Structures are given as C-alpha cells and as structure tokens.
Amino acid sequence: MGDLVPRAPLARRRPAHRGESGGWSMTTKFYIEGAWVDPAAPRTLGVLDPATEETFATISLGTAEDVDRAVVAARTAFAAYSHVSVEQRLEYLERIISGFRARLPEIARTMTREMGAPITFSTERQATVALFHFEEAARVLADYHFEEEMGAGVVRREPIGVCGLITPWNWPLNQVASKVAPALATGCTVVLKPSEIAPLSAMVLAEIIHDAGLPPGVFNLVNGDGPTVGEAIAAHPDVDMVSLTGSTGAGIRVSKLAADTVKRVALELGGKSANIILPDADLESAVVAGVHSCYTNGGQNCQSPTRMLVHRSQRDEAYAAARRAVEEVRLGDPFDPSTTMGPVVSQAQLEKITALVQSGIDEGATLVVGGPGRPDGLDKGFYVRPTVFGDVTPQMRIAREEIFGPVLSILLYETEDEAVEIANDTPFGLAGFVQSKDPDRARRVANRIRAGRVYLNGAPFDRSLPFGGYKQSGNGREFGRFGFEEYLEVKAVLGYPR
C-alpha cells in the first residue's frame, strides 16, 4: 500500500538537535537549561514505525547523571519562575498555544509515524486534545484566585516546585500536555521523560516551548527508559512532585521510590472500564457505539469500555450488533485517510494482546468475531484483528486484565444489581459507562459505580472536568481546575491585619 501522505522527513526540524544526518535520523540530544545538549553517556535506541516495522529515528537513552543535570536546572530556575506574574505566565502559554497551532499538522504526522494512530485520528484527536490542555490551563490561570481570606487568616496556593513528569506512548502528547501545561501555568518547573517508544512529538513540543521564550531551566526533557530515567526522577531528592501516567506496576514502583523523600505523587494508571447497557437502551446503537469506543486509538486507551454488560435476554441481538460494528473498522496504512484503525505500537504489545485473546478462547469464551492471527492482507506491521468475545465470565483473564488492544468482552447479567456488582468487581476504577433511555435511572446506576468518571448515553469526553481513578487506577486528578491544583501547595498565613 502506498502512502497518501509522504513519510519524508518532517518539515521545520531545528538543526539544534537533529544531527548531521538530518531529519529524524539523529534526534539524540536532550533539552536542558534552555539548550539541546549531548547526553552524559552515548547510549541510543531506534524509534520504530509500527506500520512498517522499520527504524526511522534514533534517540539517546539518558542516565541518572542526565536527570540530575536537568533537576539542578529546574531547581535553579524555580527560584525566579515561581514568582513570575500571572500575566507573564499567561503570555508564555499563549506563545506556546500559537506555536502549537502553527505546527499541528507536523505534530499529527509525527504521532502517526511513532505510534501508528491513523492520520485523521492524530489530527482531530491526538494533536488537538493536547493543544486543548494548554488552552485550558490558560483559561483556569486567568481566573484563578491564589489567595483567599479564611477564618482568622489567609490561605495561599503556591507552586509545589520541581515536577518530574513521566508519560506513556499511547497518547504521546496529550498526556505530556495534561501535565506540562498546568505545571507551567502554576509557576512550577519541569523535568519531562516521555515514552522512549514514542518520544518525537514531545521533542517537537520542546522546540515550541523553547520558541516561546520561557526562562532556561523551566522546562527540561530527558529521554530514556523507566528503570533508568523514570526511577531516577522518582527518587531524586530535589524533585518535589512526580506525576506518572502508565501501568499500575509502574505506579507502585514510582510510589515506593518517591516515599523516601515524601514527595507528592500523582498517578493515572490502568483501567478495565465497564459499559452497562440497561435493557431499556437502544441496543443496536449502544452496542455499535460501545464497540467503536472500545477500539478508540486501536484499543490503546486507559479508559476504554472493554467490558460490555448486556442483559441476558438480549445476548444474541447484542452479538449480531457487535459483528456489524466490527465490519465498519478499516485496518490499513495509518497515513491513508480512510483507515480507522492502524497497528498497535510494538511487537511486544502485539504479542501481549495475542496471548490474552488466546486465553479467552482457552477459558471458554465465545469468539463472536476476530481472534488471534494477522489480519488478512496485512503482512507487515503490528496489526491486530479487532476482536469481540461473548459469554465472558468475571473470572476470565480477558475480563480482569487490561489488554490495551482492540478486544471487547461481553458479559451477561440478569438484574441491575448484578450489573453494578460485575462492573465494580475489578481492581481498577478509572471510568464507567451507562446506557439507558431514562436519564435518572442512568444517573442512579452511575452513582453506584466505583470509578473516577462515568459517561451517560455516549456523553463526549470533556477535558475541563477532572480525570483520574479509584482503587488501582491511581490517585490525584488531571485536567481543568482539578489538574491545575495538583501542582499547588496550600499555605495558611495567620496574624496578617485585615
């Protein structure tokens, strides 16, 4: 299949960090103290295009020494940046927003190349929602009251300090922006470690931030893997807060490392969200929408409704609707605008998904559509067959483990109470979904779901509302005012004349 959008080296690359070979071939520098610098030790990693399985870029893998250099820069910059006026911080944010908008098509192409999202999805969702976080941070900052009188004193909210931000590959810039934007808006300084699997869009953002003229050391970027760079950030005594989006295992490890210095930890971790379709819902539309929502971003989405709960009397009708929904999926070249699902991000991810699909078969679930094996006509790339299982029981692996791929499990229930019990029978609690023609009934069920967000009847994703999980889906909240306040400390001042 030929590319409808060329895979040539992306435009406007800055020579400051691209190396002698040009393009994406040598993006081997880190952004520290306002400049692109060489790593402390030469160690590199190739960045793969998951649609072609070809290495198209090279990054450096940092060390604890690189992290320390970045933290020192951030600590030094914090002394002044924490006192920069709201007006000046707003100006910085507006410059970032302007630069982001100008380079949005490049950012979208970069994410399609590094993690396989279809170009339409990268443009309309991946890139634009990342931009939104900067716009939202500016909106919150413009109206935020950092001081208020309370009791016999004054309560101040002050920037927490140096923030270590560790982000994943599935939404490679959205998750970066959801952390960087409020950190910069509140007056914090940043050391960012993007995913080493999909690091390039974050490097474009670093260029945008550089062009916005922020003081050196306010924003720093060190590429690397979790066990080296991520753990060095979490354990560093001069990092005041660490925010991680990743697996539950990574969150546990970061929390343990951060405990020695009692730093604040914010975690957005895994999910196994339930989608309760009540018997009075429009079953056809609810099932079709639920399948497509599960497959958002190739199923590589932490809040995807991967467990669909259907009344037992509607079993066969639901399975038929699910088959029809899967028929609408268009697998293929992610640079083809007609493609609706690209590859998953890596061979390791493909193997994990395939093993879990096989476990569903082995444990006796009904394979409604899909299954293991490469999709027809795609002999290259990390492609997975969109899959739906029926007759899934809550004890099966596919009902309990986060698959992070286009795999939906349909579970059957008899009563509303049983549906809620099944929905809550999970160590996760990131999101929930309820479908009913009766909004009050949907709301009552939503109130019983133990999750940080619940969507009623296909409600759209709102990034001004708090996002985060219960239980092993994490702690703290992102987005909007709640995400903004994660980066603030609270100080009470008593005895000031009023």
- CATH assignment at residue 413: 3.40.309.10
pLDDT at 4: 28
- Residue 169 within any structural domain of the chain: yes
374 neighbors 152 (Cβ within 8 angstroms):
no
Q: Are residues 263 and 138 in the same domain?
A: yes
Identify whether residues 367 and 282 lie together within a single domain: yes
Residues 290 and 232 grouped into a single domain: no
Same domain for 99 and 80: yes
- What is the reported pTM? 0.94
Residues in the chain with pLDDT < 50? 1-22
Of 308, 324, 382, residue with least CA distance to 349: 382
Q: What per-residue confidence (pLDDT) applies to 463?
A: 86
Which whole-number Å values give the CA distances from 85 to 50, 82, 146, in the listed order?
Answer: 44, 9, 12
- In a domain, residue 202? The reply is yes
Query: Is 24 domain-assigned?
Result: no
Q: Is position 47 within any domain?
A: yes
First-last CA distance in the chain: 72
The confidence score (pLDDT) of residue 13 equals: 33
Report the CATH number that the domain containing residue 94 is assigned in CATH: 3.40.605.10
Q: Which residues contact 440 (CB under 8 A, 6 or more apart)?
A: none
Position 21 in a domain: no
Locate tokens 């989608």: which residue? 275
Cα–Cα nearest to 334, from 1, 111, 112: 112
Q: Which residues of 452-465 are buried (b: 16+ CB within 10 A; e: fewer)?
A: bbbbbbeeeeebee
Domain annotation covers residue 5: no
| pLDDT for the residue numbered 23 | 56
Distance of alpha carbon 366 from alpha carbon 316, whole angstroms: 12
Q: Based on the fold, state whether residues 180 and 85 are members of the same structural domain.
A: yes
- For residue 137, the one-letter residue type is A
Structurally, how many domains does the chain consist of? 2
DSSP 243-267: EEES-HHHHHHHHHHHHTTT-EEEE
In a domain, 19, yes or no: no
Looking at the structure, tell me whether residues 293 and 256 fall in a common domain.
Answer: no
Q: Is 12 a domain residue? A: no
Same domain, 374 and 232: no
- The verdict on 485 and 450 lying in the same domain is no
Give the pLDDT score at 498. Answer: 76
Statement to judge: residues 215 and 263 lie in one domain: yes
- Domain check: are 313 and 452 in the same one? yes
> In this predicted structure, what is the pLDDT of residue 24?
56
pLDDT, tens only, 77-112: 999 999 999 999 999 999 999 999 999 999 999 999
Residues marked as catalytic: 268
Q: Can you give the pLDDT at residue 497?
A: 86
In a shared domain, residues 295 and 180: no
219-221 β-sheet, strand order: 35-37, 30-32, 219-221, 189-193, 162-166, 241-245, 264-268, 474-475
Residues 94 and 124 in one domain: yes
Q: Which domain holds residue 357?
A: 274-462
pLDDT at position 181 is 98
What pLDDT is stored for residue 314 in this prediction?
Answer: 98
Instruction: Report the relative pairing of strands 474-475 and 153-159 from DSSP bridges.
Output: unpaired
